[in-house]
A and B are shown apart, each in its own frame.
Chain A
Amino acid sequence: MKNVIEVKKLNKKYKNLQAVQDLSFEVKEKEILGLLGPNGSGKTTTINCLLSLLNFDSGSINILGKEMTPDAYDIKSKIGVVFQDVAVFEELTVIENITYFCGLYIKDKKIRNRYVEEAIDLVGLNDFKDFYPKKLSGGLLRRLNIACGIAHKPSIIFLDEPTVAVDPQSRNNILEGIKKLNKEGATIIYTTHYMEEVEILCDRIIILDKGIIIASGTSKELKELTSIEEKVTIEIDDLKQEIIEEFKKLKNVENVSYDSKLLYITYKKGKDNLINLIEFMKTKKIKYNKFFSELPTLNDVFLELTGKELRD
């Protein structure tokens, strides 16, 4: 598959702060690329450089095989952007807002109206068409913001944290919509600091920290980077300190902690960890109520690579 976006050695400084450093990556046609990183890691800065809104110090950006510049109107006509902050007109209703922004791209009125209806369908704002933005809840407002960015059916879509501060229902709706756009053929660049989202959504993930790419690949590839095999949580009513010490001595155990009736055990890579664990508890006659086992998450990957949590 060909690359629709190629970024090489992108550097961007704000006064003294190096916001993005030597960033190189490409986005393949029809994929969903996730840019995952904590607050201030440079996601928005990267997107704004890609869109030629920001000056950058060095590097090159090619979109659809051409250098991206402020005057690259042919490229711009194929792009859709959903900015991190909601940017709509208070004076226009939902449908008027979408029509206005769509009209900056689509001249033909008939086609435009059809696209607007489809966008409203996609984000599920059918019942709110004639509402003014002031009357919309935060989640609905974000859906409107998305509709305004994608109604013109762009072939490349940038979404900058479109689900921040959104209720779960709206979030699902948004993620479904993005998947649908992708199925219809759009290439998508999606930034977020929610790891669950990139796992559900993205074909490929780039993890950013302090403006540097610290890892990239599919979710599976990334998880192989971590030394953790699995994490086990067991609810035990009462546990003596010496027993906790014995848990620590089990094979492949990396870390054990016990806090308000919950025992957390982290396992390094290895086999038969859970079987050994259950066997051990039987012989020690430890009674437990609940038992969960989790595979490592991207948060664990991030934690291992940077020594800090992805989420604050």
Chain B
Amino acid sequence: MFFHIFINKLKILLKNKSMIFWTLFFPLALATFFYLAFSNIDSNEKFTEIDIAIVDNEQFQNNVDFKHLMASLSNEENIFNTDYVNIDVAKKLLEDNRIKGYILVEDEINVYIKENGISQTIIKSVIDNFYQINSAVNHIFIEKQEITNIILADLNQNYFNDISNDKISSTVTYFYTLIGMVCLYGGFFGVNALNESESNLSKRAARLNVSPIHKLKFLLISLLVAFIIQYMETLILLSYVVYILKVDFGNQILPIIILTANGTIAGISFGAIVGLSNKGSENTKTGILVSVTMLLSFLAGMMIGDIKYLIEKNIPLLAKINPVNMITDALYSLYYYNNLDKYFSNLFSLIIFSFIMITVSYIILRRKKYDSI
């Protein structure tokens, strides 16, 4: 009996074109769209340059390689916004916090800073790298531009992945919310599962309820099938985004897999509630589901990244109870933070969200007869 229902449900759902479109092909198309639209923006998007000063003395002018490096990092790569000044002005600028640090070339190249921070670390790292390369390649021929490139590569690798709020590629956030959205689209299957088992919602459910099959057993099998399909679809999207579009999701595969599984459960249970919320047709309900999910994704920053921060600042509660936001945040924290605290707190919120949805559905579902069908 279990297999009979399981196999048939699987077949029925996989053949449902509109459902598979919404839960698989639409998100894939959206991912592709994001990729095409935002990969441009991202390369144009300016990294907030680090303000520095260089003491423009004789030694600096004589160190041709360094002079070229700083010029290209300032003018072409826009990593530094550099003022060439005398020592007194440099000190004054640092004093007034108008620069993060200044560089003084004497026998050695020294960096003067007031406080420690990521920008200061970057300045120092550039100087350190320059020293290393210079000593290593002292005797071989190396082009000036080559030094710049090596240093840039190193900066990209070590820092630009790591500087919260500075060089965070906002594109990544769009893909995170997309994963959140597709998890919630599990709701399509949740709506369907309820429609197929509540006799006041569909004729086929009435047929089921006059059969000797226990309604809750049937529903559990339907939800299991729903989970399997939606989870596979989420993983397909994730693979597409990570391996084909090459969007960076970090290396923590297992937490991502656990998170999306929980997200899928949250989505399906959310769909169950939408399914039970009114007596409209399945189309009406999926309409509601799509709108609500889109709204939640929008609020989590899917179309305009800044919305996410606006909501978090002004209506923090809304950000806290928004499951798309929970998924986005968890993915985000996996990528940007070294510890898993934030990840776990979001995962936990997601579990609570699902638990509430499932409990409420169960209470409504225990009804066995209806006043009207």
A interface residues, Cβ below 8 angstroms from B:
14, 48, 51-55, 70-71, 73-74, 76-77, 79, 81, 83, 85-89, 91-92, 96, 100-101, 103-105, 107, 148-149
Contacts and interface: CB of A to CB of B under 8 A. Distances in A.
B204 A79 contact: no
Given A14-B372, A54-B371, A87-B202, A104 B208 contact: yes
Nearest to A56: B369
B1 interface: yes
Contacts of A79: 210
A92 B12 contact: yes
Contacts of B140: none
Contacts, number: 81
A70 B209 contact: yes
Contact of B204 (A55, A70, A76, A87): A87
Enumerate the 7 nearest inter-chain pairs by beta-carbon distance, A residue then B residue, closest first: A87-B203, A70-B368, A91-B15, A77-B212, A73-B212, A104-B211, A103-B4
B12 A53 contact: no
Nearest to B196: A89
B370 interface: yes
Contact of A70 (B5, B202, B369): B369
Nearest to A75: B212
A55 B367 CA distance: 10
Given A91-B11, A91-B15, A53 B207 contact: no
Given A54-B371, A55-B371, A71-B368, A83 B214 contact: no
Contacts of B1: 103-104, 107
Contacts of B11: 91-92, 96
Interface residue SS majority, chain A? loop
B207 A87 contact: yes
A1 B344 CA distance: 69
Interface string B301-323: 00000000000000000000000
A264 B351 CA distance: 77
Contacts of B204: 87-89
A81 B207 contact: yes
A79 B208 CA distance: 12
A100 B199 contact: no
Contact of A76 (B4, B8, B206, B212): B212
Interface string B162-197: 000000000000000000000000000000000000
Contacts of B210: 51, 53, 76, 79, 81
Contacts of B211: 76-77, 101, 104-105
A96 B4 CA distance: 11
A248 B9 CA distance: 68
A87 B371 CA distance: 21
Best-surrounded residue of B203, B207, B213 (most CB of chain A within 10 A): B207
Given A73-B212, A77-B211, A81-B207, 18 more contacts: A51-B210, A52-B368, A53-B210, A53-B370, A54-B369, A54-B370, A74-B212, A76-B211, A77-B212, A83-B206, A87-B202, A91-B16, A103-B1, A103-B5, A103-B8, A104-B1, A104-B4, A104-B5
Nearest to A48: B373
Contacts of A103: 1, 4-5, 8
B23 to A, nearest CB: 15
5 contacts: A55-B371, A70-B209, A76-B210, A89-B204, A104-B1
A92 B15 CA distance: 9
Contacts of B213: 104
A92 B204 CA distance: 13
Contacts of A74: 212
Contacts of A89: 12, 204
A10 to B, nearest CB: 14
Interface in B1-31: 1, 4-5, 8, 11-13, 15-16
A55 to B, nearest CB: 5
B15 to A, nearest CB: 4
B152 to A, nearest CB: 55
A91 B209 CA distance: 20
A53, A54, A55, A148: most-surrounded residue (chain B CB, <10 A): A53
